[in-house]
Chains A and B, each alone.
Chain A
């Protein structure tokens, strides 16, 4: 084990000499945390430019206008007493992307609705933005449901079936949705995204840095020089791994503190669980980096292979979007990447205070991954000599 210490010390010396890489290793995670925290952290769509063409001019028309103006989703631009020409212009503005949607409140909307006759509020949405379009529809649908309930209640009051509008509302819409949001009551998206960001950073750091490290030894011919020493393949493996493992731990703590400070991400998980997740994930990823570096001939090949592993992991692992949003056929692939288990486990640990027992499946999967990666790289290093 003394030998391992000397190797690890040498790796630190390399890093110390290569200040640029060292600074990159230490700063990149913080920058990414800030970037992703703000960028992916808030996928809620707000302030969509929406034209409201009020041809009704009555009570219901203005209630729609009020609802739209009161919602953060919209940045409305209301045209009172709109004409057919205004509708045509809105159509043109939608095409040229000057507005994201327009709403037509038809002439006689209030009159028809009050008398219980069918009426149509028309909304035209630019659906090329797949995030914005559903948000607009959701918002207007809920306003419409509300208006319908009020109208129905008022009709009952008029017919003498209810004493007050409130009474009428209870009669026409008796079901209330009593909702309780658990574990992330403010629906803070950062709470979902930050574990993914931490996973991503650790994955990048470990796989790329590790995979180039052994490839570099081979490129420089120093691998042979190491091989003639009494160092065993396992010692070389551990010695190279140790420094990057320690750096990964430092980076993790750094990123978590930053996420807590900037985005108020919960840090209330059990320390043992967080530690178990981080350690097993980092070891597994370092193992992958090691395997990549052993099978590649030089550094650039190692980087290519590393990207080839990392990219699908990012997309499929559910780091930023829930795995459940992916097609059934693709989902099993996600379970080949330790990042999947890490993100799932990390979220559970931070938000739900999951215990080691709760996460036994994820931890076992990552542990298995570590064993496979370690075993493979030691075997590969050994076979290189034959």
Chain B
């Protein structure tokens, strides 16, 4: 067992990915939850796994963690085959589930020691690991608190601590910041960067697109398929010169009018700002003229029009509505 872990480490050459899937698929009856997934996550990176609910993110994570058998394709996780080297994968990876899944009637320390125990970490080693991880995640003060009595942010950090008990090289986090307040989210991300710096690869699903911007690389799932992957900046590049902003008082009327304009793929409202996405790159000054005209005609004159820097959110809203083209 130890041999498998070591050999995994040794054979893992410089270009060995943290996760690599080829045509990975999972059917549930008639439903293709994940269809032909080709994914590559580099080592030492934070990979953001995005997509709307039901896109197949959790199914993918479960397959990669060995909780679910794939119905097609293959994958290597931490250098090990997910079908044949399940045990080695389990020792090399950690998993933090979407819902809090520790024992509420046990204290933080007892939860940590239990999971340590099942990974074979006990005695002095467990003491050392407990001190290390608890101080790193700053949860020493809740050591003797029952996990069920903790609030959201503490729970997430404790769950992270338990997922880290065996020092995994790759950590899967399913919605690690769901239902946590912004300052706790901030804190969580600080920990994730710290881990990443320490050499751990992270595979994170999230709903928050501002969090996705922080990842080294992201993948976007839709309907069980991966429709885009790459560093956020590179993905945003696809929308360069296709996004124009407009300030307007009567946002609803203006949106309705602009959506009907030929060449406009989508319009989203952000307060008094409309973000207008064009199907092709446009010269924003030329476009501004048309926008003013149409809005005026609809009785919702635009105050000003200006070029916009695209965000991942623009891209993914576009994908989700089928307006952005996958490349």
CA distance A222 to B99 in the complex (A): 9
CA distance A7 to B117 in the complex (A): 8
* A122 on interface, CB distance cutoff 8 Å: no
- B114 engages A222 (CB within 8 Å): no
- B106 engages A13 (CB within 8 Å): yes
Known: A6-B114, A229-B90, A229-B119. A221 touches B100 (CB 8 A): yes
With both beta carbons as reference points, the residue of chain A lying nearest to B90 in the complex is identified as A230
* B285 on interface, CB distance cutoff 8 Å: no
- A385 engages B99 (CB within 8 Å): no
CA distance A385 to B104 in the complex (A): 24
* A138 on interface, CB distance cutoff 8 Å: no
* B230 on interface, CB distance cutoff 8 Å: no
- Interchain nearest-CB distance for A386 vs B (Å): 4
When distances are taken between beta carbons in the complex, the residues of chain A under 8 Å from B90 are 228-230
- Interface residues on chain A, number (Cβ under 8 Å): 24
Question: Interface stretch among B60-68, B198-206, B301-309, B312-320?
Answer: B60-68
| Set A6, A14, A225: member contacting B102, Cβ < 8 A | A225
- Interchain nearest-CB distance for B125 vs A (Å): 13
* B134 on interface, CB distance cutoff 8 Å: no
| Set A13, A18, A220, A226: member contacting B110, Cβ < 8 A | A13
- B103 engages A10 (CB within 8 Å): yes
Q: Flag B100-138 by CB within 8 Å of A: 1 or 0 each.
A: 111111100010001101111010000000000000000
- B102 engages A3 (CB within 8 Å): no
When distances are taken between beta carbons in the complex, the residues of chain B under 8 Å from A2 are 117, 120, 122
- Interchain nearest-CB distance for A21 vs B (Å): 11
When distances are taken between beta carbons in the complex, the residues of chain A under 8 Å from B66 are 227-228, 385
CA distance A238 to B22 in the complex (A): 37
| Set B65, B105, B114, B119: member contacting A17, Cβ < 8 A | B105
Most chain-A Cβ atoms within 10 A of its Cβ — which of B1, B114, B162?
A: B114
- A228 engages B105 (CB within 8 Å): no
- B106 engages A222 (CB within 8 Å): no
When distances are taken between beta carbons in the complex, the residues of chain B under 8 Å from A17 are 105-106, 146
- A227 engages B67 (CB within 8 Å): yes
Most chain-B Cβ atoms within 10 A of its Cβ — which of A2, A9, A221, A229?
A: A229
| Set B65, B102, B118: member contacting A230, Cβ < 8 A | B118
When distances are taken between beta carbons in the complex, the residues of chain B under 8 Å from A386 are 68-69
Most chain-A Cβ atoms within 10 A of its Cβ — which of B66, B91, B104, B118?
A: B118
When distances are taken between beta carbons in the complex, the residues of chain A under 8 Å from B118 are 3, 6-7, 226, 229-231
* A224 on interface, CB distance cutoff 8 Å: yes
Please give the residue numbers on chain B whose beta carbons come within 8 Å of chain A beta carbons, in ascending order: 1, 62, 65-69, 87, 90-91, 93-95, 97, 99-106, 110, 114-115, 117-120, 122, 146, 162
When distances are taken between beta carbons in the complex, the residues of chain A under 8 Å from B93 are 228
- A14 engages B105 (CB within 8 Å): yes
A-B contact pairs, 7 of them (CB 8 A): A9-B117, A13-B110, A14-B103, A14-B106, A225-B102, A228-B95, A385-B68
Known: A6-B117, A221-B99, A221-B100. A228 touches B67 (CB 8 A): yes
With both beta carbons as reference points, the residue of chain A lying nearest to B105 in the complex is identified as A17
- B119 engages A230 (CB within 8 Å): yes
- A220 engages B69 (CB within 8 Å): no
With both beta carbons as reference points, the residue of chain B lying nearest to A231 in the complex is identified as B118
- A225 engages B117 (CB within 8 Å): no
Known: A230-B87, A230-B90, A385-B68. A224 touches B101 (CB 8 A): yes
When distances are taken between beta carbons in the complex, the residues of chain B under 8 Å from A220 are 101, 103-104
- Interchain nearest-CB distance for B152 vs A (Å): 15
When distances are taken between beta carbons in the complex, the residues of chain B under 8 Å from A18 are 105
Most chain-B Cβ atoms within 10 A of its Cβ — which of A2, A3, A225, A227?
A: A225
- Interchain nearest-CB distance for A317 vs B (Å): 35
Chain A contacts with B in 1-48, Cβ cutoff 8 A? 2-3, 5-7, 9-10, 13-14, 17-18
Given contact pairs A6-B117, A14-B103, A228-B90, a sample of 4 additional A-B residue pairs in the complex whose CB atoms are under 8 Å apart: A9-B114, A221-B99, A221-B101, A228-B93
CA distance A221 to B67 in the complex (A): 12
With both beta carbons as reference points, the residue of chain A lying nearest to B104 in the complex is identified as A220
- B95 engages A10 (CB within 8 Å): no
When distances are taken between beta carbons in the complex, the residues of chain A under 8 Å from B87 are 230
- Interchain nearest-CB distance for A162 vs B (Å): 84
Most chain-B Cβ atoms within 10 A of its Cβ — which of A3, A6, A9?
A: A6
CA distance A227 to B69 in the complex (A): 13
- Interchain nearest-CB distance for A1 vs B (Å): 11
Most chain-B Cβ atoms within 10 A of its Cβ — which of A2, A17, A228, A230?
A: A228
Known: A2-B120, A6-B118, A9-B117. A228 touches B65 (CB 8 A): yes
- Interchain nearest-CB distance for B203 vs A (Å): 13
With both beta carbons as reference points, the residue of chain A lying nearest to B99 in the complex is identified as A221
With both beta carbons as reference points, the residue of chain B lying nearest to A2 in the complex is identified as B120
With both beta carbons as reference points, the residue of chain B lying nearest to A230 in the complex is identified as B90
- B95 engages A225 (CB within 8 Å): yes
- Interchain nearest-CB distance for A259 vs B (Å): 34
- A229 engages B106 (CB within 8 Å): no
The 5 A-B pairs with the shortest beta carbon distances in the complex, nearest first, are: A6-B117, A221-B101, A386-B69, A17-B105, A228-B95
When distances are taken between beta carbons in the complex, the residues of chain B under 8 Å from A6 are 114, 117-118, 122
- Interchain nearest-CB distance for A293 vs B (Å): 16
CA distance A362 to B119 in the complex (A): 41
CA distance A74 to B87 in the complex (A): 74
CA distance A5 to B116 in the complex (A): 12
With both beta carbons as reference points, the residue of chain A lying nearest to B174 in the complex is identified as A224
CA distance A253 to B70 in the complex (A): 49
- B101 engages A222 (CB within 8 Å): yes
CA distance A17 to B146 in the complex (A): 10
When distances are taken between beta carbons in the complex, the residues of chain A under 8 Å from B162 are 225
CA distance A14 to B110 in the complex (A): 11
Chain A contacts with B in 113-165, Cβ cutoff 8 A? none
When distances are taken between beta carbons in the complex, the residues of chain A under 8 Å from B102 are 222, 225
- Interchain nearest-CB distance for A308 vs B (Å): 28
CA distance A101 to B104 in the complex (A): 62
CA distance A220 to B62 in the complex (A): 17
- A230 engages B105 (CB within 8 Å): no
CA distance A13 to B117 in the complex (A): 14
With both beta carbons as reference points, the residue of chain A lying nearest to B101 in the complex is identified as A221
- Interchain nearest-CB distance for A220 vs B (Å): 6
Q: Flag A208-239 by CB within 8 Å of B: 1 or 0 each.
A: 00000000000011101111111100000000
CA distance A226 to B162 in the complex (A): 12
CA distance A3 to B93 in the complex (A): 18
Known: A2-B120, A3-B117. A221 touches B69 (CB 8 A): no
